[in-house]
């Protein structure tokens, strides 16, 4: 196949190089967007008188035919093409003749690929935003269901203080809400139209960049053509947000893995999201959680790969930047799939309320409240902390709980103890007293859920987030 740029060359490129540099096997994913960008460019060229109205109409009709074939999966893609941009132009020219060669007037593959990737990044942000909204809605629903489900809170993976399952879920709601904010910011960063930047220094043709931006659903156009063709920060912002989101998924998965063990016994994975062992008949493995945890490293790798590609590049475009696509595509595919699987898996998990509550009562999770009780009787917190520690040590030696101690035993460490200590260190009291904003008391969690729902309701839905792009 002749190259559309081979006029300067005396011999064809090596077949070895052709195969090495071709991006069509992966960038054909951009085919629909590349054609949409070309339609907008052709319309603008005709309106500006850069090409005749007749030529513009022929190109637009030809491109729309190609677009319909893409959407119906009936367009055969030449795998020998150099890239998706050259394929579209060559295919259009084959169909409508010499007029097709005018399509590239006033643009370069440098600003063309930047346009395609920005449109694709916007769509990816919209898809991930949808998936996050579904997960956030599920977390709010689960939280409403478990406002009074007691469980142990941990630090250092050691039981620390009693909380509720709703409180725990709402911690993840905060994490994933920040993720949604990051992807919306990544959308805004991608929502800048680069076409008209040419190879690096713009063009002498009287293009109407704002018109193209409007046709394609962009908010603004780029300010500097040299930066526009060199910039992949918008992809790095997505990859960074994706890496953080995967980290949050991985943490949640790790807890579900632990909770579903016989040792914890706090949760039961649904059979539809677990697998068995080929050797051990009793096994029920949380493979969905483990795969998500493993795929987190893969997305991290995609971020580091693109950061490394970009770290030493001089302005403007360099062929190295072709390596942006596979890393970005992989990260998007991985995150999108993980969010979908995780949300449906979480929806089916059974949380064992009785075991959660029993576990919260063990491990001296009420020791801090015992110390706070003593502070309320006039002791300094440091002295109260020491006394509580002495009583915990006694219980450990005798395999007892703090509530098992008699009032006389407690008074051996401090005379201020009274009968009200038992109510003060009950599971319900320990949780219910922590009613400050952000705390685990049911009233505080219910208010947090209300605020979370109100916040989520104000986030743009995908159809508004992505416009017509």
Residues 304 and 363 in one domain: no
Residues 341 and 371 in one domain: no
What does DSSP assign to residue 13? P
**Cβ atoms 391, 406 nearer than 8 A:** no
User: For residue 17, what pLDDT is reported?
Assistant: 65
- Whether 211 maps to a domain, the answer reads no
Instruction: Please identify every stretch of the chain with a pLDDT value under 70, giving residue numbers as ranges.
Output: 1-10, 13, 17-20, 22, 461-469
- Whether 398 maps to a domain, the answer reads yes
Residues 303 and 278 in one domain: yes
User: For residue 468, what pLDDT is reported?
Assistant: 40
Q: How far is CA 241 from CA 126, 161, 180, in A?
A: 13, 32, 9
Residues 377 and 299 in one domain: no
User: For residue 462, what pLDDT is reported?
Assistant: 54
**Cβ atoms 123, 328 nearer than 8 A:** no
Q: How many domains does the chain have?
A: 3
Spatial distance between the Cα atoms of 108 and 185, rounded to a whole number of angstroms: 28
User: For residue 319, what pLDDT is reported?
Assistant: 92
User: For residue 24, what pLDDT is reported?
Assistant: 83
User: For residue 463, what pLDDT is reported?
Assistant: 47
Spatial distance between the Cα atoms of 145 and 166, rounded to a whole number of angstroms: 8
- Whether 365 maps to a domain, the answer reads yes
The predicted-structure confidence for 27-84, as pLDDT tens digits, reads as follows 899 999 999 999 999 999 999 999 999 999 999 999 999 999 999 999 999 998 989 9
Residues 322 and 297 in one domain: yes
Instruction: Give the closest residue to 417 by CA, choosing from 427, 426, 406.
Output: 406
**301: CATH:** 1.20.200.10
Instruction: Give the closest residue to 246 by CA, choosing from 335, 309, 158.
Output: 335
Residues 304 and 367 in one domain: no
Residues 286 and 431 in one domain: no
Q: How many CB atoms sit inside 10 A of residue 361's CB?
A: 18
Catalytic residues: 156, 277
Domain with 399, as residue range(s), is 359-449
Residues 133 and 95 in one domain: no
**Cβ atoms 94, 191 nearer than 8 A:** no
User: For residue 26, what pLDDT is reported?
Assistant: 84
User: For residue 466, what pLDDT is reported?
Assistant: 47
- Whether 468 maps to a domain, the answer reads no
Tell me whether the omega of the peptide bond preceding residue 316 falls within 30 degrees of 0, making it cis.
Answer: yes
Contacts of 90 (CB under 8 A, 6+ apart): 1, 4, 78, 81
The predicted-structure confidence for 93-117, as pLDDT tens digits, reads as follows 999 999 999 999 999 999 999 999 9
**Cβ atoms 45, 56 nearer than 8 A:** yes
Residue 454 CA from chain centroid, whole number: 21
């Amino acid at each position: 196949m002749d190259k559309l740029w081979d006029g300067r060359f005396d011999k064809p490129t090596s077949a070895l190089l052709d195969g090495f540099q071709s991006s069509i096997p992966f960038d054909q994913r951009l085919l629909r967007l590349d054609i949409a960008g070309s339609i907008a460019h052709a319309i603008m060229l005709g309106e500006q008188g850069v090409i005749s109205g007749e030529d513009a109409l022929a190109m637009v009709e030809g491109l729309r035919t190609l677009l319909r074939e893409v959407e119906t999966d009936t367009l055969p893609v030449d795998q020998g093409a150099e890239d998706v941009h050259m394929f579209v132009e060559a295919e259009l020219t084959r169909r409508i003749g010499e007029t097709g060669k005018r399509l590239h007037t006033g643009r370069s593959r440098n600003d063309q690929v930047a346009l395609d990737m920005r449109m694709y990044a916007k769509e990816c942000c919209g898809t991930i935003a949808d998936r996050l909204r579904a997960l956030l809605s599920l977390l709010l629903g689960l939280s409403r269901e478990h406002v009074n489900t007691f469980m142990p809170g941990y630090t250092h993976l050691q039981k620390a203080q009693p909380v509720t399952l709703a409180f725990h879920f709402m911690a993840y709601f905060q994490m994933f809400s920040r993720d949604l904010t990051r992807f919306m910011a990544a959308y805004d960063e991608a929502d800048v139209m680069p076409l008209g930047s040419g190879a690096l220094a713009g063009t002498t043709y009287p293009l109407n960049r704002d018109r193209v931006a409007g046709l394609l659903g962009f908010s603004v156009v780029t300010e500097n053509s040299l930066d526009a063709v060199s910039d992949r920060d918008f992809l790095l912002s997505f990859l960074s947000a994706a890496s953080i989101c995967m980290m949050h998924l991985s943490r949640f998965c790790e807890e579900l893995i632990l909770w579903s063990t016989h040792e914890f016994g706090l949760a039961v994975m649904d059979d539809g999201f677990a697998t068995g062992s080929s050797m051990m008949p009793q096994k029920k493995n949380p493979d969905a959680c483990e795969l998500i945890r493993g795929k987190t490293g893969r997305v991290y790798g995609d971020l580091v790969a693109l950061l490394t590609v970009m770290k030493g590049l001089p302005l403007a475009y360099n062929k190295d930047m072709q390596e942006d696509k596979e890393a970005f595509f992989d990260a998007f595919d991985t995150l999108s799939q993980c969010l979908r699987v995780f949300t449906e898996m979480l929806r089916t998990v059974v949380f064992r309320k009785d075991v959660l509550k029993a576990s919260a009562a063990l491990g001296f999770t009420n020791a801090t409240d015992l110390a706070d009780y003593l502070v309320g009787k006039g002791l300094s917190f440091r002295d109260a902390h020491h006394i509580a520690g002495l009583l915990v040590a006694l219980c450990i030696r005798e395999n007892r709980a703090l509530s098992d101690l008699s009032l006389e035993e407690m008074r051996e460490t401090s005379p201020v103890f009274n009968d009200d200590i038992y109510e003060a260190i009950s599971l319900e009291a320990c949780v219910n007293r922590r009613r400050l904003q952000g705390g685990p008391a049911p009233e505080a969690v219910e208010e947090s859920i209300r605020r979370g729902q109100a916040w989520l309701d104000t986030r743009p839905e995908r159809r508004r987030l992505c416009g017509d792009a």
